[in-house]
Structure 1
Amino acid sequence: MAKIPAIPTFKPPPTGECRRIILWVFWTLNMLLNFIYMCLSFATASRLGKSAADVKANFISNAAWRAPVAACVLGGLMVLFFNIFSCVVLIRKSIHRQGPGFGYGFIMAWSFVMSFFCFLCGLILDAFDETVRSHLEEVEQWKTYWTGAYIGTVVFAFLCCAMFMIFFLCLVIFQGGISKAIGLYDPRTDEKRKLEMAALGHMQTANPLAASPAI
């Protein structure tokens, strides 16, 4: 009896779902780090403003003192807006199964800019570290732990800088995986994929008994 040839099996092409999950994991980690930074920056900005009355120099009208307050407030607001917008865009693309588009590209560019923006905020706050220690630690409303919160704001600003850059790289690397996860492929490789899928379908529907010799 002739041996029936085995039907070759093909593994399905990778969908890239794992990459999309990893992207969400990095977004969550970035959001948690940003949340801590936002809390520290807003609290520090509020305390800097409340301590103004006890400083001999006019705290708000002095242009030099506006820099740390603005760095805290603007840094926290920019991070807050980024997380809200990026969450909305990524959720919509996950629900509607859409590939990378304008919103995805905008998040990618914004993440790159936010990395340098947080770095700039950290540099401004770090430059005023000695000034804050010398002028505010003697103020009654400024406790020692507020100096620690100020230093924490500086540290988390630099951490957010690094995390935004990592998230930007993830957006660049995993955008192809998101497309494959929802069935979108690069036009240059789409024709090759169609030929492979057609060959796979032909071999699965072929009858191997028809080609076997008679007994």
Structure 2
Amino acid sequence: MSTVDAPSGARAPLFFISYSGAPVGRATGQPAEHLSRFFVDLSVHVSELVGPVTGVDAGFLDTSIAGGEQWSPELLQAAGTCQVFVPLVSSALILSDWCGREWDAFSRRRVTPRHSSASVHETAIVPVTWSSTSGMALPRVLRDIQRFTPTAPDPGIAAHYQREGVYGLLSMEWENMYRVVVWRLAQRIVDIHRSYLVEPWVPASVDELCNRFVEEPQ
């Protein structure tokens, strides 16, 4: 595998959001608004928990890429240096070649425990339910990794999140449930960051990557 050097002054995001839908910078309406709010809220919480870290941004969300466009060096750099990969699971994500390649870029990187009590089986991939995928056949890579589920005093919060997804919670204005989900997700991201080092690997081009979602579903 070939790699490219990090651009001068490049900053590594702590988490990388993988999402399929209309580009945030071009879309209007609820989907873009919900995605933007989720990313901002999550970034604020992660920044609060981890504190200032030199050369690190809280998160990365590409706001312009769409099918058929060139991958930017910034996106390749972010996918190859982030510490936690957060795919927002939806029907659109599962059908997205782009997102399947982002997953491939991250999954090729080595995850190393920072201390002896950390599990050697951590992937640093945290799938988040964005919207319902009921009735869809899931690719193996998604079936093999446990999706994020928030711990909360009220078990109904996790149940509603699992059924409706983050997008559903925001659409129905279930504000308290949404806030719990995002806070617990931020804690999970920071826990992984403090327990593991994901070694960098920046692909020279998107041609080195494959769509990890393409397979015979079960």
Fold conserved between structures, TM > 0.5: no
TM-score normalised by the shorter chain: which range applies?
Answer: under 0.3
Higher relative contact order (CA 8 A, sep 6+): 1
Please say which structure displays the higher CA radius of gyration. 1
Structure with greater strand percent:
2
Bigger helix share: 1
